[in-house]
A and B are shown apart, each in its own frame.
Chain A
């Protein structure tokens, strides 16, 4: 997990972040759910909380898609911490 401050003052080469994805998406909405997995066929006593996220994103053509994924609590806390870092930096840029 790497964050970097980059002042793009001049034309730079294709940013590394774009290399694997097909162009950037705009976030329309961020929906979340805190779930608790109680039991399953392989484990009667699961008892683990998780955060389920549904992102509504739009590409350049305006087409809206839903992207969902899950995070464990430690993963969520890392995600939250990274966002706070971004917020702190974007304020100063």
Chain B
């Protein structure tokens, strides 16, 4: 194997490039781009399996959402394996995962959310006064605008009107949701 591939100098850059492609969905991060930018002295034939190995390692770590103990065990095992990684490379991978774990996890969560999300929310409360045409008494109303959509698609804007009764009805439901969340989050 080319000496450059055994080193760890450019590995951090390689992992960043892999994350951009695999998790963040940035287009154009080809294997040729990574090779020419980071390992220009290495041939494509030698680079390809090396890239595949690093991609596999990163995907395994992300897929299992490894904590730091699991990560250490996993990487140590790889350093002992034939055709695995060097301990220098293990250190680079470990450092990379520690700093990117949260962002990668967020990307994975977004990727598995197939319904539309709540992108923004704005509201105001209007107080309707009496008018000479009707005997309308003071009825405040809340107007809420929800922006819902998913990435790559145009948002839908919903403009909802609520009177006080409705606001309190919804509030009661929301407290039920919160109760369920608390029950779910309770340690087993």
Contacts and interface: CB of A to CB of B under 8 A. Distances in A.
The 6 tightest CB contacts between A and B, nearest first, are A21-B159, A93-B140, A21-B157, A20-B157, A45-B65, A40-B112
Nearest to B143: A17
A69 B63 CA distance: 25
Interface of B: 62-65, 108-109, 111-113, 115-118, 120-129, 138, 140-148, 156-162, 164, 166-171, 173-178, 180-181, 184-185
Given A8-B128, A43-B62, A79-B121, A24 B143 contact: yes
Contact of A8 (B63, B117, B126, B162): B126
A75 B118 contact: yes
Interface of A: 1-9, 15, 17-18, 20-21, 23-27, 30, 32, 34, 36-37, 40, 42-52, 55, 57, 67-73, 75-80, 82-84, 86-87, 89-91, 93
22 contacts: A6-B126, A7-B126, A25-B158, A27-B166, A32-B176, A43-B108, A43-B111, A44-B64, A45-B63, A49-B181, A50-B113, A55-B160, A69-B115, A69-B146, A71-B117, A71-B118, A79-B118, A82-B123, A86-B123, A90-B125, A91-B164, A93-B138
B142 to A, nearest CB: 5
Centre residue among A3, A9, A17, A83 by max chain B CB count within 10 A = A83
Contact of B158 (A57, A73, A83): A57
Q: Is the interface of A mostly helix, strand, loop or mixed?
A: mixed
A5 B117 contact: no
B121 A34 contact: no
B105 to A, nearest CB: 8
A76 to B, nearest CB: 7
Contacts of A20: 145, 147, 157
B164 to A, nearest CB: 5
B167 A25 contact: no
A90 B142 contact: yes
Centre residue among B128, B141, B142, B169 by max chain A CB count within 10 A = B142
Contacts of B111: 40, 42-43
Centre residue among A24, A47, A67 by max chain B CB count within 10 A = A24
